[in-house]
Amino acid sequence: MEVTFKDVSLSYDGSREILHHLNFTIPEGTLVSILGPSGCGKSTTLMMISGLLAPTSGKIFFGDKDVTKQDALARKVGMVFQNYALYPHLTVLENIMFPLKMAKVKKPERKKRALELAKLVHVEDQINKKPGALSGGQQQRVAIARALAKEPSLLLLDEPLSNLDARLRIEMREEIRRIQQETGVTTIFVTHDQDEALHISDHIMVLNNGDMQQFSSAETLYDNPSNLFVAKFIGEPVINTLEISDFQGELDQHVPADILKNAVSVGIRPEALQDHDSGSDTIATIETTVKEFEKYGREKNAQLDFHGKKLLTTEIENNLEKDQKLTLYLQKSGFYLFDQDGKRIFGGDQDAK
Amino acid sequence: MKVKIAMVLRYVILILGGIIMLMPFLWMLSTSLKTQPETVKIPPIWIPKQLQFSNYIDAFKAAPFAQYFLNSVFVTTVTTVGQLFTSILAAFAFSRLNFYGKNIIFVIFLGTMMVPVEMLIIPNFVTLSKLHLVNTYAALIVPWLASFFTVFTLRQNFQSVPDQLYYAAKIDGASDWHYLWHVLVPISKSTITAVTVLQVIGSWNSFMWPLIVTNSENLRTLPVGLQAFTGDAGTNYAQLMAASTFVILPMVILYLFLQKYIIAGISKTGLKG
């Protein structure tokens, strides 16, 4: 099911807005992540899609149908909660059967469907246990099976992996991807973990302070961040950010003057600072001093001093000494300028959204 | 060493407390097996010379206890079931629903918990007599169909249930009514058991109210029926205690079986029984 938000805003108390004028369309059959820091409104957005929360203004469409006024009961979505919210007094099978029972499906039929779902999520050997006797990963699987039981048009996942340990998290995110592809259900996944979002989703929506920052593929987010927030939020290690005033003429020959005049912040990805000239992609050179050099495994990281500001690079070929002078070649891909509102005005592909 | 002394002291105090608690029950048992002169003997004796089991048979014959027993069972059952039903609904409303004046109403109800039960006897009696319900089963039951103590205890428990479970039920297609009976009530089993047992005991032991509001013999409950042994010529203590033993026996058995739930249910809400 395609989900469309048209100018949706929400405020709990009428004065302070939690979400501001959201406009987006989630295409049918895709897996979309809503990504953002804590308190940015991503779970709230999910609650509005589910119908547990009604928007203060704006309209929500499922396909062509306006569902703004419908509650959770009527919207028929499946949802997995952060703490799974399984019914503790029911067995695994009864948990999966519960939505079917509420939909008044006949008992033999609902048992059959529940068993199929238990197989799909690989908990068929646990069906007679109570949720309390299951591990976190198994509870997660049961919660997904329950959410899928009534063949929902949408599957919503609210930070489903945050209560799992690191290894299980990676396993489960692949499971979610597999289940989504097997069932073809449009899936919306809320997370604060960029790694999770980048690995699992077709598209990522970045939210901050109740505003949509960017909604695009993982690759576009990284290569063409639409603003400073997205540039800083996506990428590990974090992008180097400097003020335009930290540069002393190094950019003058290389960036058009009318753009440079509006630029306020500079973002440089750590891999865009190279210690050798790559040729065509190099747009400028800067003189730095080595502050720290670390080498572990295949990785070489250097902390550099540039006019009193710190820079990090991961693209060092030769070992370095502390306090050594170093010329760095700034690569065009991975170099961005932002104006006073944080909007990207240089670097990347200007046409990309 | 210090730890050991503390331990011993703790047990001594607990055992003493236990003995004090048990004393009336033991005295009741002992008296129920005495002859009439032995019951009033000074200094009191604990173990009768000869155990008078015939007191139990005589006590049964003294009044229609089978009828009283049925009355007690009936009143207790209806009161408890009715009160649980109203309290579960009210507790759900106070814990989950939003309605105008919710907090004010709650505080007013909370205030009623401070009114002693004895003070309610007269207004309740006047109300019932105006409704022409005095001396009926309804009189024994209706005033106790709502209890704010039960509402409050259940509400505290319902509030400890995570919101996400409610949302999950909503997403799964459950109405408030389904959520209440298929999810909330089953998972609040221990608290519900605790308030049920407390209510059963309270209702079973209730004396003052049935005494005041009924006067026909066929409406008498067991505690009221015990008066049969107190006449103008004095009290037959041995038979009274024999009958009392019979009256409290079901409650003692009930408590022994369910004490785990009672303690868990009450300690969870931080309330005294």
Question: Under a CB-based contact definition with an 8 Å cutoff, are residues B183 and A95 in contact?
Answer: no
Flag whether pLDDT at B268 surpasses 60.
no
B164/A82 CB distance under 8 A:
yes
Give Cβ neighbours of residue A319 (< 8 Å, ≥ 6 apart): A293, A295, A300
Q: Could you tell me if residue B188 is inside a domain?
A: yes
The enclosing H or E element of A119 equals helix A107-120
All domains of chain A in start order, with CATH: 3-228 (3.40.50.300), 237-346 (2.40.50.100)
The DSSP element (H or E) to which A183 belongs, if any, is helix A166-183
Q: Does some domain include residue B50?
A: no
B36 assigned to some structural domain: no
Which residue reads 């205690």 in tokens? B241
pLDDT above 90 (res B56):
no
Q: What is the pLDDT of residue B270?
A: 46
Question: β-strand A17-26 against A3-11: which pairing, if any?
Answer: antiparallel
Q: State yes or no: pLDDT of B266 exceeds 80.
A: no
User: B273: pLDDT confidence band, cut at 50, 70 and 90?
Assistant: very low
Whose structure tokens read 């198994």? A138
pLDDT of residue A352: 54
Which of A82, A89, A98 is the closest to B172 by Cβ? A98
Q: Which CA distances in Å does B163 have to A81, B150, B154? A: 11, 22, 16
- Give the model's confidence band at B269: pLDDT under 50 very low, under 70 low, under 90 confident, else very high: low
Per-residue pLDDT reduced to its tens digit, B213-259:
888 888 888 888 888 787 776 788 888 888 888 888 888 888 888 88
How many A/B residue pairs have CB atoms within 8 Å?
A: 58
B200 has pLDDT over 80:
yes
For A152-190, how does the pLDDT look when each residue is reduced to its tens digit (9 = 90+)? 889 999 988 888 888 888 888 888 898 899 888 999 999
Residue A351 reports pLDDT greater than 60: no
Instruction: Using the predicted structure, report yes or no on whether residue A135 has a pLDDT greater than 60.
Output: yes
Q: Cα distance from A154 to chain B (closest Cα, Å)?
A: 11
Helix or strand or coil: residue A75? helix
Assess whether pLDDT exceeds 70 at residue B267. Answer: no
- How far A344 CA lies from chain B's nearest CA (Å)? 39
Q: Output the six-digit token pair for A140.
A: 């997660």
Mean per-residue pLDDT for B34-59?
Answer: 83
- H runs (alpha helix) in chain B: 2-32, 36-39, 54-62, 65-96, 102-112, 117-130, 137-141, 148-159, 163-171, 176-178, 185-187, 189-205, 208-213, 222-225, 237-269
A277-301: pLDDT as tens digits: 777 778 888 888 888 888 877 778 8
Q: If 0-12 CB within 10 Å is exposed, 13-18 middle and 19+ buried, where does residue A68 land?
A: middle
Report if residue B259 sits inside a domain: yes
Total structural domains within chain B: 1
Contact list in A for residue B164 (CB cut-off 8 A) is 81-83, 85
pLDDT reading at A348 higher than 80: no
Please indicate whether, in this complex, the C-beta atoms of A87 and B170 are within 8 angstroms of each other: no
Could B172 and A85 be called an inter-chain contact, meaning their C-beta atoms sit closer than 8 Å?
A: no
Query: Has residue B16 been placed in a domain?
Result: no
Phi first, then psi: give them for residue B120, nearest 5 degrees. Answer: -85, -10
Domain contains B166: yes
For chain A, say whether B1 makes contact (Cβ under 8 Å). no
* CA–CA separation, A41 and A61 (whole Å): 19
- Amino acid at the residue A111: K
State how far the Cα of B129 lies from the Cα of B135, in Å rounded to an integer: 9
CA dist., res. A142 & res. A121, Å (int): 7
% chain B with pLDDT above 70: 96
B96 touches chain A (CB under 8 A): no
> Cβ–Cβ of B178/A102 closer than 8 Å?
yes
The answer to whether B183 faces chain A, any CB pair under 8 Å, is yes
Backbone phi, then psi, for A56, in 5-degree steps?
Answer: -75, -40
Nearest to B167 among A81, A87, A146 (CB): A81
Separation of alpha carbons A229 and A239, rounded Å = 11
Give B-chain residues touching A78 at CB under 8 angstroms: 171
CB contact under 8 A, A79 and B167: yes
Element (DSSP H or E) covering residue A11: strand A3-11
**Is the pLDDT reported for residue B41 higher than 50?**
yes
Q: To probe the interface with B, which of A89, A95, A156 has the most B CB atoms within 10 Å?
A: A89
Give per-residue pLDDT as tens, A189-207.
999 888 888 888 999 999 9
For the cut 80, the answer to whether the pLDDT of residue A32 exceeds it is yes
User: Which residue range is the domain that position B131 belongs to?
Assistant: 64-230+240-269
Chain B: closest CA distance from residue A48 (Å): 12
Mean pLDDT of A301-328: 85
Q: What is the pLDDT of residue A35?
A: 92
Answer whether B165 sits within 8 Å of A102, measured CB to CB.
no
Q: Return the amino acid letter for B62.
A: A
Residue B136 is part of a domain; what is its CATH number? 1.10.3720.10
Residues sharing a CB contact under 8 Å with residue B33, sequence separation 6 or more, in sequence order: B48, B51, B52, B53, B55, B238, B242
**Cα–Cα distance, B215 to B231 (Å, whole number):** 16
User: Residue B130: pLDDT above 90?
Assistant: yes
Say what the pLDDT of residue A350 is: 60
pLDDT in tens, A4-20: 998 899 988 777 888 88
